[in-house]
Structure 1
Amino acid sequence: MASLDPVFDKDGVRLTVDDAIATVTLTNPAKRNAQSPALWRALTQAGRSLPGSVRVVVLRAEGKSFSAGLDRQAFTPEGFDGEPSFIDLARGSDADLDATIAEYQEAFTWWRRSDIVSIAAVQGHAIGAGFQLALACDLRVVADDVQFAMRETSLGLVPDLTGTHPLVSLVGYARALEICATGRFVLAEEAERTGLANLAVPVDQVDGAVRDLAAALLSAPRDAVIETKALLRGAQDRTYEEQRGAERAAQARRLRDLAGVGD
């Protein structure tokens, strides 16, 4: 990736913008890009800081691992400096606990915005929260050394960072349940075969493959991509007839826009 002045660079997250492409980089390879509430707030800020010119967002990570998941310090009585420990959160009210988890989830939601297409470039371990962060993106290009795993259930928890919805959508209920309940690794060949990955390439070709994919996405008119993404994302929640109607309405908007006809 090209070296650019960062929009911001803090708490293990760096955001750079090059015209229509933004790059969000996880920058703590010494800890295998383990995640924390501070990192999640930085990811949320990255989404809020995107200029209107951005059409494609690339998520990548420094080092050999994409993200080893939640920093285990979260499970200690001390937790993170300046943060309530997970033990403290568990002792709070239902409303406070729900609000805190909802805040954490914000770091994983904005990647689905209809005005952008997000691409995760994933190498090495993508465990738990790391797997869910990759799932938060629209598309995934993975290295041939990728190792996805959903380990939350093995720890007595559940995947709660928005990963269950896209996982079921991509691989189906039965395989999603098996992946989560066993905590096993999903490697590159299976990821590509089952739809978890759009493309699997040798690790030294990931950046080039992502650049090519981003360029292909930018070749289509922005408004057509936005309408198409919204149609596809909503398809699973609509009946066949409802989807037909949504297609007609979207196409009418596109035709009027191309013809220069106002509403």
Structure 2
Amino acid sequence: MADENGAVIWEKVADGVLLVTLQRPPANALGLPVIEGLNAALDDATGTKVVVVRSALDGYFAAGADIKHMSSIDAESFTEYGDALRGALDRLAATDRISIAAIEGLALGGGLELAMACTLRVAGENAQFGLPEVKLGLIPGAGGTQRLPRLVGRGRALDIMLTARQVGATEAHSIGLVDRLVETGTASEAATTLADELSALSLPAQQAVIRAVDASFERPLDEGLRYEAVEVGNLFERGEAKEGITAFLDKRRPRFA
């Protein structure tokens, strides 16, 4: 399917997997057409367990916010635009499903913020990452200042944002910005294969993993351990743990929802 602007298309490529493709030339600027397309795709994601986001454009995942649009609006409209972009990325980042960014080429500014909103990032060796907003007298405003430190640490995040430099795929993988590094041109295939693997597992358990890991950044260790214990108990009582345990004992594949 496609949104009315044609900037985003999506299709269910496997049981529980939705493939979302950005295709707004020349660089997938995250203007209103892409924002609306992302929201439309997520509206249609009911019943899917994994969403893969990729680009159809050579050399670009997404090159940032729509600067031309930003240059033509007043402060009130700028705030509305930022809220709309953050809203779409927050929906992608929500733990109701897993999301994977398949990155080839440039992922800059809002494009990197889009990738960081995903649960995981798979990148080709040609990928380049950066948050160059200080060159415009701005800061990353769609989650960049919050998500980047959680992925790479405070010092590395400051280095990337304060210098506005681009980070190559190898460095991005070594510092934890990228989760899987693959040959150029294979990121989409690798991300879809990973999505197939993830969709076969228990989504409630995966959601609990994400919540518990996120809690480790927000709580002291003793509180985090208690939170983990609550999550385990909930999965055993109301989740899919009984099916998983029964399948293991029966030596068969579990039948997760």
TM-score range (shorter-chain normalised) is 0.7 to 0.9
Deviations 1:112-135 (A, max 9, x none): 222211000001111111111111
Root mean square deviation, CA, Å: 1.9
Aligned to 1:20: 16
Change in Cα spacing, 1:188 to 1:97, as seen in structure 2 (3 Å) is closer
Matching residue within 35, 38, 51 for 1:57? 51
Structure 2 stretches of 5 or more lacking a match?
Answer: 244-257
Deviations 1:2-32 (A, max 9, x none): xxxx16463511122233001111012x311
Aligned to 2:198: 217
Of residues 237-246 and 200-209 in structure 1, the stretch that sits farther from structure 2 once superposed is: 200-209
Aligned to 1:237: 218
Are the counterparts in 1 of residues 104 and 185 from structure 2 also a CA contact under 8 Å?
Answer: no
Deviations 1:121-166 (A, max 9, x none): 0011111111111111110000111111111111101100112211
Are the counterparts in 2 of residues 9 and 15 from structure 1 also a CA contact under 8 Å?
Answer: no
State the TM-score, normalizing by the size of structure 1.
0.84
Aligned amino acid, residue 173 of structure 2: E
For the pair 1:187 / 2:168, whether they are aligned, the reply is yes
Matching residue within 78, 95, 105 for 1:114? 95
Aligned amino acid, residue 49 of structure 2: R
For the pair 1:36 / 2:17, whether they are aligned, the reply is no
Matching residue within 178, 186, 194 for 2:159? 178
SS at match of 1:31: coil
Are the counterparts in 1 of residues 70 and 78 from structure 2 also a CA contact under 8 Å?
Answer: no
Change in Cα spacing, 1:99 to 1:239, as seen in structure 2 (3 Å) is farther
Of residues 213-222 and 245-254 in structure 1, the stretch that sits farther from structure 2 once superposed is: 213-222
Aligned amino acid, residue 43 of structure 1: L
How many corresponding residue pairs?
239
Aligned to 1:3: none
Q: Offset at 1:63?
A: 1.6
Structure 1 stretches of 5 or more lacking a match?
Answer: 1-5, 80-84
Are the counterparts in 1 of residues 3 and 40 from structure 2 also a CA contact under 8 Å?
Answer: no
Q: Offset at 1:107?
A: 1.4
SS at match of 1:234: helix
Deviations 1:39-82 (A, max 9, x none): 2132223223311x200000000122111112331243xx3xxx
- Looking at structure 2, the residues matched to 130 and 75 of structure 1 have their Cα atoms a distance apart, in angstroms, of 16
Matching residue within 53, 61, 65 for 1:66? 61
SS at match of 1:254: helix
Q: Offset at 1:234?
A: 2.2
Aligned amino acid, residue 193 of structure 1: S
Are the counterparts in 1 of residues 131 and 144 from structure 2 also a CA contact under 8 Å?
Answer: no
Aligned amino acid, residue 22 of structure 2: L
Aligned amino acid, residue 131 of structure 2: M
Identity %: 29
Change in Cα spacing, 1:215 to 1:259, as seen in structure 2 (3 Å) is closer
Of residues 226-235 and 97-106 in structure 1, the stretch that sits farther from structure 2 once superposed is: 97-106
